[in-house]
Structure 1
C-alpha cells in the first residue's frame, strides 16, 4: 500500500510532509506517488518528452504516439521553419503522414518566433488534440519553450501598434549600422540592465524588452514568472520538511497551493555522456554527407538574403556554422580546402556537443522530469512511459535499469569526458570530402 503522504511531481501538487523519501520494490524505484492534496477535478494528461540533441526523443515520441493514438506537438525552435529539415532533424514526410505533427513548417526562416508565441500555439494545439480524443505528446529540446508550456507564461503587457512602431524606429539606426553593443546600452539606459545578457544580435528580444519598458515603465524582469512561483512553492515545502523538530505551531503559514493546468507526465531521455557525444559527432557527419544536407539548406538561407546569426533561424546550431563556412568559400570565389572543411566540421560538432551540455544543465534543474536511459531497449522505455500514462493511482515506478543519472557518476567518467576527442567515421581522410569541395566549386563560385 502506498503511503498517502508521499507527493507527486506529475501535476506538481505540493505535499504534506512525506512519510518516506523513497521506496524500493521489486528492483524498481517509486519516483512519484499520489498527492495528499485533494483535487476537485481530474486533470487531463499531457506527455512531455525532452532530451539533448541526438538522444532519440523524436523516434520515441513517434512510436509512443502509435501506441497511444497520440499526436505530436513539436517543442523545437528550429523545426518551426520551412526548409530547415536536415539541420533540425525534422520528422520525415512519411512519419508526419503516419502520425499528425503540430508546429512544424509554420514560418519562413526570415520570421522570428518567440517563446510567448510558442506557448499560445502549443497550448492551442494541446487543446485541439485533447478535444479530438487523442493524446498530446509534446517533444523537443528547447528548454524555455517547455518551461513556459508547463508552468505558464509571464503576464507581460503586449505593446500597442503605436509603441511597437516607436520602438522599431528607436532601434532602426542601430540595427542598420549593425551596432549591437550601442543598441544594448540604449536599452540598458532605458531601464533593462539584463539586456546585456541577450544573445548577440537578438534584435527581436531587444525590441521586445524596450516595448515592455515603454508600455509599462518596468523591465521584463519586473513581472512574475509562473515557474519561479512553483519553484518557490516547492523549495518552501522542502524547507519545512527538513525541520522535523519544529512544532506545527512554529511552522510558517503556507500560501495557497498552486496547481498546473494539466497532469503533465514528463520524461527526459538521455544517454551516458560519452555515448551521447559520439552520437552527436556522427549525426553532424550524416547531415553533411547527404546530397541535400545542411550545407544546401545553409546555401538557401544565404540566397534568401539572410546572414548568419542575424535572427532565430540563422542562430541555430549547425546553420550558423554552415552559413559562415559558405560565406568564407564565396569570398574565395567558391574555393575551399579540405583543411577548411574539416575545421568547419569540427566547429559544427563542438557547437552541437556544447549545446547538448547546456541542455543537460538546464533540465537537471527541472524537477518535474524523470530521466530515462536512451541506451536501453526502445521497447522497455516505451513500456515504462505507456504504463505511466495508463496508471490512475498517481504512482510512477521507474525500473532501476531504465533510470539515467543526472550527474557524472564517477571520476573515471569525468576524466574520460575531459579527454574526449572526436573520431569521425565518414570524414577521415582528405579525399573523403572531395565531393563536398566539388559541390562548393560548382555552386558557390558564381555567387560573388
Structure 2
C-alpha cells in the first residue's frame, strides 16, 4: 500500500499546480519538499503557495522557519515522517511537492545520523567559504569531499567542511554508515517539460514576481535580523536583488542575472532528475492523461 506520493520537477515546471489537482482527486494533503519555501521571509520570490491554494488544499511545512531557524535535510526528514503518519492515519494521501533533491533522496533512501555541528564550527566553516581558496581548504581537510564535489558547489562544500571540522570524519564516511530509513512505500513522479519551455516560464514568472512585490520582500529581508548563515539569504534571485538595492547593480541587470541564476538552478535539477529517472514515472507535461496515470499508479500500489 502506498503511504505517500512524491511529485518533483525543475522550478517553474508546473508541479505545484499539478499537485493541487492530484490532491483534489486523491483526497490528499500537500507537504513541502523545497528547502527555501520552509522560510517565511520570501514567499513571492520562492513561489510559495498562495492563500487561495491553501484554501483549496491543506499545505504543510510552508513558511514556518523564522529569523534564527536553520532547516536541514535531517530536520525535514523527521518532520515529514511524522506528517506522513498523521495524514495517513486520517485516511488521506500525503503528497510531497518540491525540487530539493537532497530532501527527496533522504526520504526515499534514508538518513545518516551525522552528529549536530556546534554553532561556532558552523560559523568557522562559513568564514572559510568566503575565502578565494575555499576549495583548496576543503581539499586539505576532506580530500574525499573534494573528489566528489564540484569546486563551485559552495553549499555542499561548506557542509562537508563543517562536518569534518566538528567530527573529524568526512561527511561521506558518515553517509557510508547504516542509514536510518523510514518504512514508507512511495509512488514517485517527475514533471519534466521541454527545457526551453521551463526557461521561458522562469523568465515570465520572475517578471510577475517583480510586479507582485519580490523586490520589497528582499528589501525587508535585508532589514531583518536573520542569522547570516541562513539559507534564505541565498534563495535564487535574492543575492542579485540585494546587489541592486545596495546600488551595485542596476535593477535591469539584477533581474537578468536573477533569471539566469534560476535557469542555472533548473539545469542542475534536470541533471539530478536524469540520474533518478529509473525511480520516477516521468511526464513531459501535466494533462488529464498524466493525472489519470498518476492516480492509477498510486491506487495500484495501494491495493
TM-score, reference length from structure 2: 0.85
Name the SS for the 1:391 alignment partner: helix
Instruction: Name the one with the larger helix percent.
Output: 2
> Is the CA contact 1:112–1:204 (under 8 Å) kept in the aligned structure 2?
no
Distance in 2 of aligned mates of 1:46 and 1:368: 15
Matched residue, 1:327? 246
Matched residue, 1:117? 75
Distance in 2 of aligned mates of 1:128 and 1:306: 32
Name the SS for the 1:123 alignment partner: helix
Highest RCO, 1 vs 2 (Cα 8 Å, sep ≥ 6): 2
2:290 aligned with 1:370, yes or no? no
2:4 aligned with 1:46, yes or no? yes
Matched residue, 2:253? 343
Distance in 2 of aligned mates of 1:351 and 1:85: 18
Question: Which residue, 352, 361, 365 being the options, matches 2:262?
Answer: 352
2:9 aligned with 1:55, yes or no? no
2:192 aligned with 1:199, yes or no? no
Question: Which residue, 101, 104, 107 being the options, matches 1:143?
Answer: 101
Distance in 1 of aligned mates of 2:56 and 2:272: 32
Aligned-residue offset at 1:105: 1.4
Give CA-to-partner distance per residue, 1:221-263, whole Å, 9 cap, x none: 1124589x9xxxxxxxxxxxxxxxxxxxxxxxxxxxxx97222
- Cα RMSD after superposing both structures: 3.1
> Is the CA contact 2:135–2:157 (under 8 Å) kept in the aligned structure 1?
no
Relative distance call for 1:326 and 1:193 in structure 2 (3 A) is: farther
Matched residue, 1:297? 217
Aligned-residue offset at 1:391: 1.8
In structure 1, stretches of 5+ residues that fail to align are 1-42, 230-258, 330-335, 395-448
Distance in 2 of aligned mates of 1:343 and 1:73: 35
Count the aligned residue pairs. Answer: 297
In structure 2, stretches of 5+ residues that fail to align are none
Name the SS for the 2:94 alignment partner: strand
Relative distance call for 1:225 and 1:46 in structure 2 (3 A) is: farther
The answer to which of 96-105 and 59-68 deviates more is 96-105
Question: Which residue, 390, 414, 437 being the options, matches 2:299?
Answer: 390
Give CA-to-partner distance per residue, 1:4-48, whole Å, 9 cap, x none: xxxxxxxxxxxxxxxxxxxxxxxxxxxxxxxxxxxxxxx443110
> Which has the higher Rg, Structure 1 or Structure 2?
1
